[in-house]
Amino acid sequence: MPIDPYAAVALFALVGLAILATAAVSITAIPRAHRSDVVAVVRALPDLAAMLMRWRRRR
């Protein structure tokens, strides 16, 4: 069953809006956060990426 073109456009718009909203929240939150919190998050990113890659492979 092919997907309706309008539904595809709406889905892409929704995903794009979600990405933009996430970026806006992140850009707003990082300068307002305490420096030690930002450093802890940046140091945790490689572990988070590795965990997501393992989770993706198991699915």
Taken as a whole, the chain contains a residue count of 59
- How big is the CA angle at 8 (ends 7 and 9), to the nearest 5 degrees? 90
Instruction: Give me the pLDDT at residue 59, please.
Output: 64
* Cβ 38 vs Cβ 30: under 8 Å: yes
Question: Tell me: the pLDDT tens digits for 10-58?
Answer: 999 999 999 999 999 888 887 888 888 878 888 888 888 888 888 877 7
Q: Which helix (H) or strand (E) holds 34?
A: none
pLDDT of residue 1: 64
